[in-house]
Structure 1
Amino acid sequence: MTRNALDTPAPDQLYAQIQQFYALHMGLLDDGAVDAWASFFTPDAVFEDNTTPEPLRGREAIRATVRTRVEHLRAERRQFRHWFGMVDVAVQPDGELHTRMYALAMSTVVDGPLRIHGHVVCRDRLIPRGGSWTVHNRRVEVDGV
């Protein structure tokens, strides 16, 4: 999902909606609301990560994997946070959106220091749903891998 000549930059109002979409979506994950977070994916979504050999296929597989991770973080008393920045939104001729952003993953434990887990480039293919969007494909590329 890289920009090409057919891409159209998002108008200001749409760009603001996508910023809010990601703030809500990732905020739910950081708050441990895995079911609500997973509802942002299509039932047949694909989640690719360059640190794992096989992508996760389907909303339920994504939900189950992330639920396990969130439970592990809770057991460690670790608060995880994601920061998304430099969001680029390209409108496709068919109405889909392709987004590209940087994400910084970090965590802290009670009375502990901030730990940076990694910096990634995240590329999403968003499909319209009602007045919002769903993630059909997410590709996470961890720097240094």
Structure 2
Amino acid sequence: MTAIDTRTDVTSLYAEVQHFYARQMQLMDRRDFEAFAATFTEDGEFSHSPGQLARTRPGIVAELVRFHRRFDDDPVVRRHWFNMIVLDPQEDGSLRATYYAYVINTRPGSEPQPGPVCVVTDVLVRTDGVLSNRSRHVRQDRLLLEP
């Protein structure tokens, strides 16, 4: 892992992170879970639901397969939208990205329906010159409102 240089062109770094997320989430939305997991470090961790934490690429794939079984008999197209990305360099050379995520579900014959709205915190690192997720933690807004 090499440090992410945030002293140089911040605009280029921001664009690179957005491009990384666009590719990553298109993999998720196509249910290409192996390719999605490959965007994480070997020891990466992924938490998308309360009480759930997947570690390592194979663990991430297994969790996504398990989670998406609920859609096996549901002809739904799910799209993930990321926005309002804030990038904060960390002392260890990683980059913390905090952003909003919005999921939209579309089914045949119906209008798109909103899914969860979330705040996501990622730790991004550069491995062999390429951005990777070291961790992702998703917090659904609806859970912030529960007592």
Q: Percent identity?
A: 28
The structure carrying a bigger strand percent of its residues is 1
Which residue identity is paired with 1:11?
V
> TM-score, normalization: structure 1?
0.85
Q: Does 1:39 align with 2:19?
A: no
Shift in CA distance, 9/116, structure 1 to aligned 2, threshold 3 Å: farther
Pick which of 121-130 and 69-78 moved more: 69-78
Query: Residue 30 of structure 1: CA displacement?
Result: 0.7
Shift in CA distance, 16/62, structure 1 to aligned 2, threshold 3 Å: same
Structure 1: which 5+ runs fail to align?
1-6
Name segments (4+ residues, structure 1) moved above 6 Å. Answer: 7-10
Structure 2: which 5+ runs fail to align?
1-5
Pick which of 124-133 and 95-104 moved more: 124-133
Alignment RMSD: 2.1
> TM-score, normalization: structure 2?
0.83
Task: Give the SS at the match of 1:144.
Answer: helix
Question: Superposition pairs for residues 1-145 of structure 1, below 5 Å?
Answer: 11-49=10-48, 51-145=49-143
Preserved CA contact (<8 Å) 1:9 1:89: no
Task: Give the SS at the match of 1:53.
Answer: coil
Task: Give the SS at the match of 1:47.
Answer: strand
Preserved CA contact (<8 Å) 1:10 1:91: no
Separation in 1 of the partners of 2:119 and 2:69?
25
Preserved CA contact (<8 Å) 1:83 1:103: yes
Separation in 1 of the partners of 2:129 and 2:70?
34
Separation in 2 of the partners of 1:28 and 1:10?
28
Equivalent residue number for residue 4 of structure 1? none
Query: Residue 95 of structure 1: CA displacement?
Result: 2.0
Count residues with an aligned counterpart: 138
Task: Give the SS at the match of 2:50.
Answer: coil
Task: Give the SS at the match of 2:142.
Answer: coil
